[in-house]
Every structure is written in C-alpha cells, then in structure tokens.
Structure 1
Amino acid sequence: MPIRHLFKSLLCLLMFVGALGSAQAADAEYVLGPGDIIRITVFQNPDLTTEARVSENGAITFPLVGNVDVGGLTVPAAESRIAEQLRSGGFVLQPQIGILPLQIRGNQVAVLGQVNRPGRYPLETFNMRLSDMLAMAGGIAATGADELVLIGVRKGKIERTQIDVPALFMKGDLAKDVIVSGGDVIYVHRAPTFYIYGEVNRPGAFRLERGMTVMQGLATGGGVTIRGTTRGMQIHRRAEDGKQQVIEPQLDQELAPNDVIFVKESLF
C-alpha cells in the first residue's frame, strides 16, 4: 500500500476515534452542584487562578466579578459564563477560562437497604457506575438479595430499573453496570428466606438460594433426625391469591420464597 494511502487511512481512523470519544464525553458531561470544589484558571492571567467551592445556592465567588452562578451548569457552560462576565465587565478582553473539578461533592447517590454501610455517597467523578457505588457502601450484606433496584430521573422522568447483580460479573452482562447520576437511589432488598421445622437437626429460617430444591433445603437444616422421615413431608406455601396451600413435594422440587417445610416424625 502506498505511504500516502496508509497515512490517509490512519488519519481517518484517528478522526473517527476522536469523534466517538467526544460524543461519549458529551453524553456523560458532569453538572456542577453544591459542595463541588473547582479550580479556575484564566489564560495569561495567573493572578486570577482561584479555587472555589460551589455554595448551596449554586454560586461561587470569583475575583473582579464577584458571585457567579454555576450550579446546574456543565463545566464548558460554567467556563463560558465566567468568560462572559469578565468580558462584559471590561476586565479581560478575550478571556479563555479553564475549570478543573477538584472534589465532586454536590451530586450524591443514596445506597439503602441490605448493604454493609448504607448512606449517601458523593459522585467523585462524572462517570461512576453502579458497581462503584456498591463498593463505596461496603458491598451487599449477607442478608441482601441478588437483585437491586435503581431509581433515578432520566430525561425528566422517574425510571425504576431492577438489576441482577451476579449477572453483571458471572455472565459478563456489564451493560447493566450503568452510570449513576446525582439524586439516584440504590435499594437492596432483604434476600428471600424459607423456613424448616419438625424433625430436622437445625430448624429455623434460612436464606433461599436461587434454584434451591427441597433436598438442598433439608441439607441446610442439618438433615432429617433419626426420628424423622421425608415421607409425608409438607410445604406450607402462600399462593398469589393469599390462600395457604399444603403441598407434599418431591425432593427435587424447587422451593419458593417464604416456604415452610415441615418434616414429620417416623411412625416406625
């Protein structure tokens, strides 16, 4: 291939990658909020370099111009606003402003329910994902379910998304590891349980794992005692209409949340 053709192909590839990166950055543009700390620089005016904290009403104090409202603006929009005030005040003729977020505290995400450290956590970068927030909250507790609920506002509408956490990693379904936004709420419900009593070695309530069978449930309860029998074993289950059902299950039958297994005493 001639050198000029190779160079042209390489140039086109670089332009495509650059455009793709710009588009992705535009989609994930961070919005400044109260509590954020930013560094502002003015090209060829080092005396105007300022570190400022965005106040609760979304304003910062900048030399010469005083208060500037930047809350709710993206970084480029905030740069343009400061430049306009410097220009309109006659302080700098052609200001070139640069803003670098140092600490992003304004936008927070609430992580609630069965996590090890529930609370509100700041978005430290504009592209933090669901897994990042779970890690900050100490991960899902032993009592937590495999699925969680993410509630947030997208395009002016409240969206509720149910996410299978193990599938993110076990199946490589990383598309569900979504980027979170300020004001989002992540909720982890308590894991489903089942109950076992009667002639078992460890009666009580236990976590119901996915696909758990009656036999596995018996094993979790320590197995049947020497006086017990699996014959005539019963499962008490609440149907969708709220009525109580009594089932004589097979050992390979799958358990349902809140099932109650009763193991009878052997007559012989």
Structure 2
Amino acid sequence: MKSTNNVKFTQQKFSSLHRIALILATFYSATWVLTFTAIFWGLTAKFSERVLADSVSQNLPTLPLDKRQQQQQDIPTNTNPNIEINPEFRSRSYLLGPADQIAIQVQRFSELNFAGQISQEGLVVLPLIGTVNLRGITVEQAKQVIRDRLNKFIKNPDVTVSLIVQRPVTVTVTGQVARPGFYPLQIPQISAAIFAAGGTNSTADLRGVLIRRTLANGTFAEQKIDLLTPLQTGIAPPVLRLEDGDAIIVPYQQVTVDNKSDRDVAARYSLAAAQGLVQVTVTGEVAKPGFYNLPAGSGRISAALVAAGGATLKADLRDVRVRRILVDGSIVEEPIDLYTPLANATELFDFPLQNGDAIVVPQLEASKSQDYDFNLISRSTLIKPRIYVRVLSYASGGLSSFYIENGSRFLDALNGVAVNAADLRKIALFRFDREQGKAISQKLDAKAALQGDVSQNPLLEDNDVIVIGRNLVERVGYAINTVTQPFRDVLGFLLFFQQLRNGAQNLFAPNSRSNK
C-alpha cells in the first residue's frame, strides 16, 4: 500500500515538473519569436522609409546650386533697421523735474508719507525734514537724499520713492505731417508725437524719420528711425524716449509707381493722417481752370481733373505737373504721366493730393503729337465729355449751337446742320488761340473729307466755330482781321459771332444773301 502511494506521489511530482518545464519552454520560445519579430519589423520599417525617401527625392525638383545659393543670399541676416542707436538716444535714467508727480513712503511711519507734484522750482515739502530739491536727479538718487535727511531723526529709515505721473515733454514735429507744430506729450514716444501732429501725409518717407536732440554742450545729435519696415515685417518698432526740446522731422518722399506699395502700407497704418477736404488749384489745358475742394477720400489727381471739367484735347497728359509747397517753403514739382497707362492698358498712377497743391496740365507740343492717340484720349474719363460747337451758315438760318461728344470731328458736326451742296468746298473752321490771343482759321473741303482725306476732317475743340459759304467765310474773316483783333479771351471771340447775328453788321440781311 505504501509503495502504491509512493508511485502516485512520484507521478504527481513528475506531472508538476512537466507542466513547469512546458510553461518555461513556451515562454522561452515566445520570447525568441517576439525578439526576432521586433528586429525584422525594425529592419522592414527602416527599409520602407529609405525607399519612400528615395522615391520622394526623385520626384521633387532639385534647384541648381547657384539658385540655392541665391535664395540663401536673399534671406536677410538683419531685418531690423533700427538696431544701431545713437548713444545719445539710448534709454537713460529719468531725471525728476517740475510737474512730475511722485509718491514717498516711509515704512512704519505713515505720517511721513507724501504724494504730490514737484513744484516749478523742483522742490517738495516733506514732513519732519521740510523742503527737498529733487530737480535733475534720478528716482534712486531722490530716495537716497530723503533717507539721508530722515536719518537724522529715524535710525535706518526704509524709504520708497515712486514716479506716479511723468511730466509732459514738449517736442517739435515738422515735415510731412498734417499739422506741424509744438506739442506737449504725456507719453514721450515718437508715435505719440506723430499722432499729436495729426498723422503723416501720403508723401511722408517713413523709412527716414529723423529725431534731432540738442545736447548740453550746444551740439546736435540725430537718430534716423525706420517706421515702415516694422509695419511690413512685424518686427518691434524702436522704443526711444523723447526729451524736452526734441524735434521730429518727417521727410518728403517723391511719389513714384515703384514705391506705391510702401505708400499703401503707410496710408493704412494707425498714424496716417485722417482724410479730409483737399483744396487744390487746377490750371492749364482743362475745361474750367480754378480752385476746387475735393471731398474726403477723393483727393486724387483724376478727381481734380474731373472737377475742373476734364482736360482738353490740347492737353499733354504725359507730363501733368503737381506743384507742392513744403513746410520749409521750398517747392517740389512731381511729373505725372496719365497717358501711358491708358495707352498700355495698365493701372493708372493716381497721384494723392494734399491741401494747397497745384495741378498744371500743359499743352501738347506739335513736335510730340505724332505718337499721341487723340482718339483714345477723347474717350477717356480724364477728358471733358462734351464740347460746345457753333455753325454759322445761310442754309441753317444763322448761328446754330449744340453740344457734341469730345473727340468728334468736323464731319460729325455737319451731320446735324443743313448744308447746301454748293458750299461743301467753301467752309472754314475758326478757333480762338489763347497763346496768340486771337482767332485762327483753317479752310476745309467737306467733299475731300467725305472721300477719306483726314487732313480735311480735323478733331473739333470746345468753342470751335464752323462757317459755311464762301461769301460768309470772307465776311467773317475780314471782320475778325480788321475790327475785333485781338480778342482778350475766348469769351470775346464768342461774343463776336453773337454780334454778327444780332448786331448792326448782321450778315444775314437780304442784301448780304444776294452777294453769296
């Protein structure tokens, strides 16, 4: 019986060992499998990454070496133009002075505290110690002065001095700002100074704003500040604390097509002058020379020409001039080409105007008219839309007047009046020449014009007078040359033809017709 029990015990022991061995073998095998799997997976992933990288690099275009070098050179190494600051403009310890408001606290002795303004003499009156002069010293120095005075009454006093409100500094702002002048600033920053002066004008050079400071020895120190680059790139603007007597000069920048983007940025920033009524003078080859007020937001050269009734067909739009008087009294003149954008179908360079500007539209010289497209100009919005023409003839019953589209020619005017066939070759065009101060005439042949002769079909101008009939042409020509020469202005020229119809020399009397 005992032997049987030993056998059973041995069998049970063997079964337990067997199970343990089996478990260990299984664990050992699983460990090796997982290890080899991880190694294999890592190699596969690495291989896949390499294949993917190779395939991507083959598909991406590669830049030539010189191109990559050029791109690296194009990356600016220093995008902040305001790093170099004159030592005279670096932040210095603030010096107390009249109108500064300060607070003084003495720990454990509240009855000795003080809060108030420094007097015009630079003094404050403190409890226990009396009058203290704080003019021209720093806050830290003021603290030490008060401690030394209190030390006679209190052992090792704990004193705190704080600047509560800084006194205003008075600066001069001049140049291209809305209101040049002298301004007290509570915040002594350049932005506050420009804002106080109404903001910068459209012709301000924000890359070259100048701060001029008078030093103690009577010499001047200057610091040039670029305000435009921070607007374009987002870098921090320079922080300079202005001092009493500083002058901020905003220089003039010539307006060109190349710097249009800079001006667009400057026009939208917070320190740009608010747009208001612009008063300008328009003279030269325009329909109605004179003084004009342009509404806020429309102070452009195109708006000025439209307000003056548009340019005449004699105008040279390639050389329109804008004259401007600067703050220092000097005069600058900007040449503006309004013709080329029309001819090339490009964006119009619409020059921004300022109060007091004068727009001068010159007359086109004959030597420069060969490549000048009058038909194009006559259809543009810069030209007077309609002109007033008069026709004097027997067939139409006298002097007839009517408006016609600007850019119309001689034959266009004849379409609206009655003309005898016999008079088609006996026509004259009379026009007042302002430079000569007299009437000039040109004989025209309507039949030749109908057959395509351009020289006989000229462009009409405002206040032209067409006279039809040989006898009538001769009488008008004689009267102009012998009686009324010279005319003072175009009004006298027009009144002359009015008198021909209504005055004593009425050319339409019966005896005049018989001599036709």
For this structure pair, what is the TM-score category when the shorter chain's length is used for normalisation?
A: 0.5 to 0.7
Q: Distance in 2 between matches of 1:52 and 1:79?
A: 15
Q: Distance in 2 between matches of 1:151 and 1:205?
A: 37
Shift of 1:225: 3.5
Q: Distance in 1 between matches of 2:313 and 2:178?
A: 38
The residue number in structure 2 matching 1:76 is 140
Q: 1:59 aligns with which of 119, 123, 135?
A: 123
The residue number in structure 2 matching 1:264 is 363
User: Would the aligned equivalents of 1:31 and 1:74 in 2 still touch at CA under 8 Å?
Assistant: yes
The residue number in structure 1 matching 2:100 is 36
The residue number in structure 2 matching 1:121 is 184
SS in 2 for 1:222: helix
Relative to its length, the structure with more strand (as a share) is: 1
Alignment partner of 1:132 is 2:178: no
Q: How does 1:166-205 map to 2 (within 5 A)?
A: 166-172=228-234, 174-188=236-250, 197-200=283-286
Alignment partner of 1:228 is 2:313: yes
The residue number in structure 2 matching 1:152 is 213
Give the letter for the 1:59 counterpart. Answer: L
User: Would the aligned equivalents of 1:111 and 1:185 in 2 still touch at CA under 8 Å?
Assistant: yes
User: Would the aligned equivalents of 2:189 and 2:242 in 1 still touch at CA under 8 Å?
Assistant: yes
Give the letter for the 1:109 counterpart. Answer: T
Give the letter for the 2:112 counterpart. Answer: L
User: Would the aligned equivalents of 2:171 and 2:244 in 1 still touch at CA under 8 Å?
Assistant: no
Shift of 1:141: 6.1
User: Would the aligned equivalents of 1:144 and 1:188 in 2 still touch at CA under 8 Å?
Assistant: no
Distance 1:121 1:202, change over 3 A: farther
The residue number in structure 1 matching 2:170 is 109
Give the letter for the 1:228 counterpart. Answer: L
The residue number in structure 1 matching 2:508 is none
Give the letter for the 2:241 counterpart. Answer: I
Distance 1:218 1:199, change over 3 A: farther
Alignment partner of 1:50 is 2:149: no
Alignment partner of 1:100 is 2:156: no
- Greater Cα offset, 184-193 or 76-85: 184-193
Q: Where does structure 1 lack aligned partners over 5 or more consecutive residues? A: 1-25, 207-216
Q: Distance in 2 between matches of 1:86 and 1:182?
A: 32
User: Would the aligned equivalents of 1:201 and 1:221 in 2 still touch at CA under 8 Å?
Assistant: no
The residue number in structure 2 matching 1:251 is 340
Q: Distance in 1 between matches of 2:129 and 2:317?
A: 84
User: Would the aligned equivalents of 1:130 and 1:180 in 2 still touch at CA under 8 Å?
Assistant: yes
Give the % identical residues: 19
User: Would the aligned equivalents of 2:212 and 2:222 in 1 still touch at CA under 8 Å?
Assistant: yes
Provide TM-score, normalisation by structure 1: 0.60
- Greater Cα offset, 45-54 or 167-176: 167-176
Matched positions, count: 221
Distance 1:226 1:39, change over 3 A: closer
Q: Distance in 2 between matches of 1:75 and 1:35?
A: 14
Q: Distance in 1 between matches of 2:201 and 2:322?
A: 25
SS in 1 for 2:192: helix
Q: Where does structure 2 lack aligned partners over 5 or more consecutive residues? A: 1-89, 256-279, 293-299, 324-329, 342-347, 365-373, 375-457, 460-516
Which of structures 1 and 2 has the bigger CA Rg?
A: 2
Q: Distance in 2 between matches of 1:41 and 1:248?
A: 66
- Greater Cα offset, 257-266 or 42-51: 257-266
User: Would the aligned equivalents of 1:228 and 1:263 in 2 still touch at CA under 8 Å?
Assistant: no
CA RMSD of aligned residues (A): 4.7
Relative to its length, the structure with more helix (as a share) is: 2
Shift of 1:27: 4.1
Shift of 1:100: 1.7
Q: Deviations over 1:68-112 (max 9, x none)?
A: 11111111111011111111xx2111012111222222x513243
Shift of 1:151: 2.1
Shift of 1:221: 3.5
Q: Distance in 1 between matches of 2:191 and 2:127?
A: 40
Give the letter for the 1:139 counterpart. Answer: G
User: Would the aligned equivalents of 1:111 and 1:186 in 2 still touch at CA under 8 Å?
Assistant: yes
Q: Which has the higher contact order (CA 8 A, sep 6+)?
A: 1
Q: Distance in 2 between matches of 1:203 and 1:165?
A: 39
Q: Distance in 2 between matches of 1:231 and 1:71?
A: 65
Distance 1:134 1:233, change over 3 A: closer
Shift of 1:196: 5.6
Q: Deviations over 1:36-92 (max 9, x none)?
A: 1211011221110112321222221111221111111111111011111111xx211
User: Would the aligned equivalents of 1:31 and 1:71 in 2 still touch at CA under 8 Å?
Assistant: yes
Provide TM-score, normalisation by structure 2: 0.34
